[in-house]
Structure 1
Amino acid sequence: MKKFEEKTIHTEKIFEGKIIDLQVDDVLLPNGEKSKREIVKHPGAVAVIPITEDGKIVLVEQYRKPLEKTLVEIPAGKLNNNEQPLAAAIRELEEETGYTTKELSFVTSFYTSPGFADELVYLYVTDTLEKLDTPPAGDDDEFIEIIELTLDEAKQYVEEEKIHDAKTNYAILYLHSLWR
């Protein structure tokens, strides 16, 4: 047994949805005791840091129902069945921003909420954007507005909590600290 490993004794599927599934696992703890874990299963997601020729970050503003407010975020979306992260990143970039690119660089991947979910986000960056003449249609239930900000403006949005999600905060930190 690995250090701290929790062995699953039983899994009960609670809900199967369009975006997530929910299960409750009975587990055996490292000390021999039993416990329960509520787990959100997610197919994974991608996010893109798109940078225009003049150095602006292309972001999307959208309403987030769980928060009951609007946030400004980097373009992102979930992986479809058997979809490769790179292909999904280009798809999301095109659908959400109307831009495409031939050069998408992998930055990192990270778990969003490992205490209760297995969602893994693959983060990419590009500064070779091309505007599409006819962008593909986005999701029918997704209403977004495109915003282009300088890095300093984006940092101000972070301070004002207009940018207030982990992936976009990570993107701003990455651009501030590590980008070129």
Structure 2
Amino acid sequence: MELTEKTLSSKSVFDGRILHITLDEIELPDGKKSKREVVNHPGGVTVAALDEDNNLLFVRQFRYPYKEVVLELPAGKLEKGSTPLENGKRELMEETGAEGYSYISLGQLYPSPGYTSEIIHLYACKVKSQGNANPDDGEFLNVEKIPLDKAVEMVLNNQIPDAKTQVAVLKTAMLIKSGKI
């Protein structure tokens, strides 16, 4: 069965600093017409950075849409003109003050494919050195080190609700267990 939907028209309904929202008219595989609301996003990156003691570097920061402080791996949106890996290295340094090495790709994550075009690129690395964080203006966070095994346990016990962090923690743990990191 054919599954592809065809875009017939696209109307911009919001153009913000990060998000661009369109209302698209589409043709379904059976020929009927429908509408799709799409949140276009430049994409993001997250880094699972392991120190010499197998601790992961995390940040805690207030996330306004949830009205709560969220525990996450260092992450950020992709900047034009930079590769996802370059963005990941920059975010790790800005948010934790850490410089990484031996980066490996953990793949990509589609956080919510029903309405957003966002793709998050996942990486793991080893920590070479750690200094002071230098977050962006208006970004307030606390850096924490959590042993990898404890982080896995926290994911499994629903203590880390952030999807990109869950996936990166579990993939990193599996790759270490299999000897690939």
- Which residue number corresponds to residue 7 of structure 1? 6
Native 8 Å contact 2:101 2:126 kept in 1 = no
Report the CA distance between 1:166 and its aligned residue.
0.8
1:129-140 equivalence runs, <5 A: 129-132=128-131, 135=133, 137-140=134-137
Equivalences for residues 132-151 of structure 1 within 5 A: 132=131, 135=133, 137-151=134-148
Deviations 1:7-43 (A, max 9, x none): 1111010111112111110001111110000001011
Aligned-residue CA RMSD (Å):
1.6
Whether the aligned pair in 2 keeps the contact of 1:13 and 1:22 (CA below 8 Å) is yes
In the alignment, structure 1 segments of 5+ residues that lack a partner are: none
Tell me how far apart the structure 2 counterparts of residues 150 and 101 of structure 1 sit (CA, whole Å): 17
Letter paired with 2:70:
L
TM-score calculated relative to the size of structure 1 = 0.91
Give the residue type in structure 2 aligned to 1:60.
V
After TM superposition, which residue ranges in structure 1, 4 or more long, deviate above 3 angstroms?
A: 159-162
Name the residue aligned to 1:99: 98
TM normalised by structure 2 equals 0.91
- Aligned: 1:173 with 2:167: no
CA distance, structure 2, for counterparts of residue 126 and residue 107 of structure 1: 10
Q: Which residue of 1 aligns with 2:51?
A: 52
Mean Cα displacement is larger for which, 119-128 or 47-56? 119-128
Q: Deviations over 1:60-109 (max 9, x none)?
A: 01111111111111100001112211110110000000001233211211
How many residues are treated as equivalent by the alignment? 177
Equivalent residue, structure 1, for 2:21: 22
Preserved contact between residue 24 and residue 36 of structure 1 (Cα < 8 Å) = yes
Structure 2 unaligned blocks of 5 or more: none
Q: Partners in 2 of 1:82 and 1:14 — Cα distance?
A: 26
